[in-house]
Structure 1
């Protein structure tokens, strides 16, 4: 079974590039091995020290009632969701708050793949609109792109993106309607959008909406099946797109 070819004409005609984050422009390991553990550590401390505080209770208001009987129950629930990579909206919102603290105080710096920023800058300069669609909350996305590692320092690249979408303001990433909603809000025909993701199921949902989907195969990502490679164009880095 041969690999699918990149539709160069459709890529070049795209007015919008919609990007996933984890496994697409930043490594899965940063999210799973750095950001998730950081959020858990911060939560353990907050739950122990600030359980009765109104601000903390507001943070966890969206959690199921049986998980917030006490600090131990809450932390155990979050540990379980994190271990199983369950992208519950209330968890993503809590993580976004915890990561804001980490980025703001310098504990976290965002590592993007080397070619990402120069390539995004080039695409924007040529007139393409850049937008993000991630399961992480919009709040977390804004922090993520505010503190991008730049040598020993960080830089803010939020200005490169015209819009940010998550599962709250767009809908689930595995549903066709979410991509249709994003295109409608951006005011662009679905046929003029290219979606870059490491997740084949997300690519399938976007394709059902007639959004052109390209799978990004980075080191550490899940192995792609022969069927997936035959169905979608696959790139290793953004500079593979002409």
Structure 2
């Protein structure tokens, strides 16, 4: 059902009622946006939040999800968040807090999501199946970021038609039909997480295509009997020759063939 060739990946196969395409955030926008923009913004915004909203009901639910030692004082809390962020720890209470902190930055037009040029056209094409299509295609997101943060990312897409206007954004949450993170699926490097996703989608693993910039994630999805392709994007970690062994690799969603 998948075979590589000159950057193309053929996704044709036996007829099914539906195909789910599960994508990782790193295939949609550069990981550098998360690491160099979102992560620093959260750390920059945190001290003011701790000073003004430590006991605010809107913040308390995030604060109280942290270990008791970390919430003993604002100073201890900030130190713990910085430590986890520097080590890029994939833990739910940190990811939920980051989404909370990022929301203000999105709303105030400090930043918006810089998606790759092929993404929206591909998503629109996949989700508008014609009668000639062998199967309808639905799109899901799987990220180590919280579902709330995922929705913010799709709610505040930089409008490619007006790239210089910080207030020109597109809300494309409508195109995503299912959202997965480490709380409802599990860690992205574990095959069992992909089995959970298939169960939640009520779909055979073999009828799900997973797209990721991360080789370990792709291998885990393959281990769970999904179809899986590495998307090698600018700004993401370069792939070594060892990484490339035995995997289908594309550089754009345009190279996926469902016809």
The TM-score, its normalising length taken from structure 2, stands at 0.86
Give the Cα–Cα distance (whole angstroms) in 1 for the partners of residues 181 and 230 of structure 2.
19
Shift of 1:226: 1.6
For residues 74 and 14 of structure 2, what CA distance do their matches in structure 1 show? 52
1:207 aligns with 2:222: yes
Pairing 1:43-62 to 2, within 5 Å after superposition: 43-62=46-65
Q: Does 1:241 align with 2:250?
A: no
Runs of 5+ consecutive residues of structure 2 not aligned to the other structure: 130-135
Q: Select the residue among 73, 76, 81 that pairs with 2:76.
A: 73
CA distance in 1, matches of 2:224, 2:109: 40
**How many residues get paired?**
239
Q: How far 1:46 sits from its partner (Å)?
A: 0.7
1:84-126 alpha-carbon deviations (Å, 9 max, x no partner): 1111110001111112222223223111001111111111112
After superposing on structure 2, the runs of 4+ consecutive aligned residues of structure 1 that deviate more than 3 Å are 3-7, 9-14, 52-55
**1:172 and 2:204 aligned:** no
Q: Which deviates further from its counterpart, 106-115 or 44-53?
A: 44-53
Q: CA RMSD in A?
A: 1.9
Correspondence for 1:108 among 111, 119, 124: 111
Whole-Å Cα distance in 1 between the matches of residues 56 and 183 of structure 2?
A: 26
In structure 1, stretches of 5+ residues that fail to align are none
Counterpart for residue 32 of structure 2? 29
Q: TM-score, normalised by structure 1?
A: 0.92
Higher share in helix: 1
Partners of 1:189 and 1:81 in 2: CA distance: 36
1:7: Cα distance to partner? 5.3
CA distance in 1, matches of 2:116, 2:69: 41
1:221 aligned partner: 236
Q: Deviation of residue 11 (structure 1)? A: 7.0
Structure 2: distance between partners of 1:9 and 1:34? 34
1:146 is aligned to 155
